[in-house]
Amino acid sequence: MITRPPAVILVNLGTPEAPTASALRGYLREFLSDRRVVEMHPALWRPILEGIVLRVRPKDSAHKYATVWQENGSPLMVYSQQQRDAVARELDGIADVFVAMRYGRPALHDELTRLHELGYRQVLIVPLYPQYAACSAGTVFDEVYRWGLRSRDQLEIRTIRSFPTDAGYIDALSSALTDHWEEAGRPDFDAGDRVILSYHGIPQAMHDAGDPYKHECEATLQALATALGIPVVDADGDEGGLAMTFQSVFGPAKWLTPATIDTMDLLGRKEIKRVDVICPGFVSDCLETLEEIDMLNREAFLEAGGERFHYVPWGNGREAWTTALSDVARQHLGGWVRSLV
């Protein structure tokens, strides 16, 4: 007999517990050991990971994290908790809401065990990735299924795959831009100003193998262009206002293009005066938005000749986003909620 309401687990990527090399080493070891993230065979990848990557990258990453670390912790964790609190208020009396991380703590598998022990039996898994990729939402589902394989008394599980064109999600993006334009002025698209949608990249080989991620990013781009009434930049890059790029390249393999950092340099050299950058795949500001975009990409654009660079946050605890997230969860709770009446 079900004695507890459904549980909703909001699952983000994860974060180190401190901006230190030792904390980064453990976090990166877990993250980069996932074969969904690095598809190289472990026999080839493990010596590289342990012998090179984990000797060099933790110190460099710790320095970067220190530039964005907040008084109460990692930005990703702080904003994930804000989202949990906001969604919990929206779903009060409908479901209990929790947050977990795929890598680091609170670990997803530990949270599933804890909720099971508390008597929850219906659990909705909400990966905080609007666009599906095997190396993001896919690995969340892997961890849920592994938990189930080890469990005799299994949970009733629902998962949300992605929501790249959800109306509330698109409204959260578009309203963040229009609110920003009320303060900073609207870009002059006739003069070449651009709005750049920067997504986390994936290796080209993953796309070639059938990963739908790029297509879902394109779907978000088109939906946002329609909502704003601003056309996507044409193939020559001369007409239109919105364009899509990919960031956070790691390693020597070919990744999806165009790269955000290369685009910033190109636009600056073309004497484009202004770019506004929004990151639709990052629901919480984190290292990749606060340091990579708002610091490194800003510097690249301005040094190449650009004049005004605006990073536009859209998620975090912003009401339009948390309402959209609550609505996405509510849509997938149908049936379970009625069983509680």
Residues 177 and 259 in one domain: yes
Half-sphere exposure (Cβ direction) of 37: Cα atoms closer than 13 Å: 19
Number of domains in the chain: 2
Polymer length of the chain: 341
Question: Per the domain annotation, does 144 fall within a domain?
Answer: yes
Please report, for residues 1, 7, 15, 143, 158, the alpha-carbon distance to residue 121 in angstroms, rounded to integers and kept in the order given: 9, 8, 28, 17, 11
Beta bridge partners of 107: 101
Q: Is 52 a domain residue?
A: yes
Residue 229's domain spans which residues?
Answer: 167-311
Instruction: Outline where the chain has alpha helix (H).
Output: 21-32, 42-48, 54-68, 75-90, 108-117, 137-149, 167-184, 204-208, 213-228, 260-269, 287, 298-303, 319-331
Q: Prior bond to 258 cis, omega within 30?
A: yes
pTM above 0.85, yes or no: yes
pLDDT for position 2: 56
Q: What is the pLDDT of residues 100-124, one digit of tens each?
A: 999 999 999 999 999 999 999 999 9
* Mean residue pLDDT across the chain: 95
Rounded to 5 degrees, φ, ψ at 340 are: -90, -10
Q: Write down the pLDDT at residue 240.
A: 85
CA distance 293 to 309: 10
In a domain, 1, yes or no: no
- Cβ proximity of 104 and 73 under 8 Å: no
Res 341: pLDDT: 37
Q: Are residues 187 and 284 in the same domain?
A: yes
Euclidean distance between CA atoms 176 and 59, whole angstroms: 34
Based on the fold, state whether residues 37 and 133 are members of the same structural domain.
yes
First to last CA, the chain: 14
Q: Is residue 218 situated within a structural domain?
A: yes
Amino acid at position 184, single letter: A
- Model pLDDT for residues 286-327, shown as the tens digit of each residue: 999 999 999 999 999 999 999 999 999 999 999 999 999 999
Q: Is the pLDDT of residue 232 over 70?
A: yes
- Looking at the predicted structure, is the pLDDT value of residue 270 above 60? yes
The answer to whether position 290 is within a domain reads yes
pLDDT of residue 340: 41
11 and 137 co-located in one domain: yes
- pLDDT for 71 equals 92
Mean pLDDT confidence for 117-135 = 97
Region 19-30: mean pLDDT is 95
**Co-location of 16 and 121 in the same domain:** yes
Residue numbers belonging to the annotated binding site for Fe(2+): 200, 288
Could you tell me if residue 2 is inside a domain? no
Cα distance between residue 220 and residue 173, in whole Å: 10
Domain at 182, CATH number: 3.40.50.1400
Indicate if 158 and 289 belong to the same structural domain.
no
Q: Do 40 and 112 belong together in one domain?
A: yes
Do 156 and 201 share a domain, yes or no? Answer: no
CB atoms within 10 A of CB 339: 10
Where does the pLDDT of residue 252 fall: very low under 50, low under 70, confident under 90, or very high at 90 and above?
Answer: confident
User: What is the spatial distance between Cα 219 and Cα 223, in angstroms, rounded to a whole number?
Assistant: 6
| 65 and 90 share one domain | yes
Co-location of 101 and 191 in the same domain: no
Residues 130 and 225 in one domain: no
Spatial contact of 174 and 224, defined as CB atoms under 8 Å apart? yes
Binding site residue list: 200, 288
Same domain, 156 and 249: no
Contact status, residue 173 vs residue 278, Cβ threshold 8 Å? yes
Q: How far apart are alpha carbons 60 and 42 in whole angstroms?
A: 24
